[in-house]
């Protein structure tokens, strides 16, 4: 398969080429936690860059559960015009645009002041940074029923806003991924134990979303190929989950891996495994492709055209890129014109892997801020500088978020 040939999805929709802007943690909401003007400018840059598919960064299904203090939330129709504008700008040059919908579970910072929910009361292990995350409360059946409704509602609102699909985030250690992993799901009821039970919540959400949106609206799932932690969700589990998704009308599965504890999506693992520098998860994807009845997409470290072509040549339908497009948003257009650019960030080799992971995310965020202002990326930025700026912004946004949530709660109480 060539990179610049169209892909017809199971629902009949067509992605114009095989290159996707994978989700990144932009954290660029406005004061109402709707898309900001800066976020719209950023997506305009990616839309002009020539990708066939644009996946948004996390859009939260619950304003009480945030992956970051300045994230976008879509839980009601209060600011739907802003979302319509986002979809319009991102779709303006022909790309399919899917909203990634998510709930962080235990991967929510305690400073946000909200109750942390998860499958089981298993705290994050991040060494000296563990205290930044609260010990979660195990979810009740009522919590789970509400969660299913929230994912479904957000998907319906995404369609109303003009997005062409949603991606349900069940990877990277967020809530649905936590249910899938035996390390974080210690439940003894119908939601824990066997892989069938651990996947039950994901399957129910996919079914609910698929039945609530129109047939031409894409429903995708982001899934870990593995957690890269001993005893965690592994490649065999991933194969079984994909087999469960096969009959549910899923249009694409994106394969990634890792979590906050083992950020394999950045090329780091905790189970002793050495990941390749590019296309981290291609080996796993090839195995899953043998049983998947929907197209697959691989994301993880891809920045060179020859590697992207190797991915599609292996029978994988889509190539997801994130960091590379934070540096060079025009990369697909450049490749199409015959310019084999290979954007790369300054390597981070800090001994503290958790801080190194935070710095890596901060450096990417630094690039996104520059692109949103119409400026060129600065891949040589000091990781320490980027991290300090990121931490300062997070502190400011955390205070703003807490005031916003308090105002929402007060307004709901007064009704």
Domain ranges within the chain, ordered by starting residue:
7-414
Helix (H/G/I), strand (E/B), else coil: 77: coil
Per-residue pLDDT at 270 exceeds 80: no
CA angle, residues 314, 321, 129, in degrees to nearest 5: 120
Of 81, 267, 257, the C-alpha closest to 181 is 257
Instruction: Point out which residues pair with 282 in neighbouring strands.
Output: none
Confidence tier at 264 by pLDDT (50, 70, 90): very low
Per-residue pLDDT at 273 exceeds 50: no
CATH code reported for the domain at 7-414: 3.20.20.70
3-state helix, strand, coil in the chain (%, to 5): 40, 15, 45
Percent of the chain clearing pLDDT 70 (strictly above): 95
How high is the pLDDT of residue 63?
97
Q: What are phi and psi of 223, to 5 degrees?
A: -135, 140
Confidence tier at 358 by pLDDT (50, 70, 90): confident
Average pLDDT over residues 145-167: 98
pLDDT in tens, 189-203: 999 999 999 999 999
Confidence tier at 352 by pLDDT (50, 70, 90): confident
How high is the pLDDT of residue 268?
45
Q: What is the DSSP string of 30-72?
A: -TTSSB-HHHHHHHHHHHHHT-SEEEPS-EES-TTS-SSTT-E
Mode of pairing for the β-strands spanning 53-55 and 318-321: unpaired
Of 318, 23, 299, 300, the C-alpha closest to 168 is 23
In contact, 20 and 96? CB cutoff 8 Å: no
Mode of pairing for the β-strands spanning 218-224 and 252-256: parallel
Per-residue pLDDT at 26 exceeds 50: yes
Percent of the chain clearing pLDDT 90 (strictly above): 79
Average pLDDT over residues 275-301: 81
- Helix 37-49 and helix 353-372, axial crossing angle in degrees, nearest 10: 90
How high is the pLDDT of residue 278?
54
Q: Which residues contact 1 (CB under 8 A, 6 or more apart)?
A: 18, 312, 313, 315, 317
Question: Alpha carbon of 284 to those of 218, 267, 317, 328, 329: distances in Å?
Answer: 24, 14, 14, 27, 27
How high is the pLDDT of residue 282?
80
Exposure on the CB side of residue 315, measured as CA atoms within 13 A = 12
């Amino acid at each position: 398969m060539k990179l610049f040939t169209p892909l017809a999805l199971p629902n009949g929709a067509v992605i114009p080429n095989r290159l996707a802007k994978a989700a990144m943690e932009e954290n660029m909401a406005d004061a109402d936690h709707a898309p900001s003007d800066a976020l719209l400018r950023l997506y305009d840059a990616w839309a002009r860059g020539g990708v066939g598919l644009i996946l948004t960064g996390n859009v939260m299904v619950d304003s009480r559960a945030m992956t970051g203090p300045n994230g976008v939330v879509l839980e009601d129709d209060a600011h739907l015009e802003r979302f319509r504008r986002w979809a319009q700008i991102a779709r303006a040059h022909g790309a399919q645009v899917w909203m990634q919908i998510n709930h962080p579970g235990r991967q929510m910072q305690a400073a946000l002041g909200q109750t942390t929910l998860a499958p089981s009361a298993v705290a994050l292990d991040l060494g000296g940074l563990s205290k930044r995350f609260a010990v979660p409360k195990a979810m009740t059946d009522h919590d789970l029923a509400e969660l299913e409704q929230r994912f479904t509602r957000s998907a319906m609102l995404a369609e109303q806003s003009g997005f062409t699909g949603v991606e349900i985030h069940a990877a990277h250690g967020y809530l649905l991924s936590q249910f899938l992993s035996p390390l974080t799901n210690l439940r003894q009821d119908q939601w824990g134990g066997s892989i069938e039970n651990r996947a039950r919540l994901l399957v129910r959400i996919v079914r609910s979303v698929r039945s609530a949106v129109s047939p031409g609206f894409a429903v995708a799932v982001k899934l870990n190929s593995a957690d890269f932690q001993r005893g965690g969700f592994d490649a065999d589990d991933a194969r079984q989950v994909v087999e469960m998704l096969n009959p549910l009308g899923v249009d694409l599965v994106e394969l990634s891996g890792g979590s906050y504890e083992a950020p394999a999506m950045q090329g780091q693992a905790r189970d002793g495994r050495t990941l390749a520098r590019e296309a981290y998860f291609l080996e796993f994807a090839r195995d899953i492709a043998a049983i998947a009845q929907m197209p697959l997409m691989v994301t993880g470290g891809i920045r060179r055209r020859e590697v992207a072509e190797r991915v599609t040549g292996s029978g994988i339908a889509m190539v997801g890129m994130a960091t590379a497009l934070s540096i060079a948003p025009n990369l697909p257009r450049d490749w199409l014109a015959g310019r084999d650019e290979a954007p790369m960030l300054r390597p981070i080799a800090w001994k503290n892997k958790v801080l190194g992971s935070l710095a890596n995310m901060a450096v990417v965020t630094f690039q996104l801020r520059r692109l949103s202002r119409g400026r060129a990326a600065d891949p040589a930025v000091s990781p320490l500088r980027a991290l300090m700026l990121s931490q300062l912004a997070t502190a400011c946004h955390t205070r703003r978020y807490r005031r916003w949530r308090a105002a929402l709660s007060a307004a709901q109480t007064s009704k």
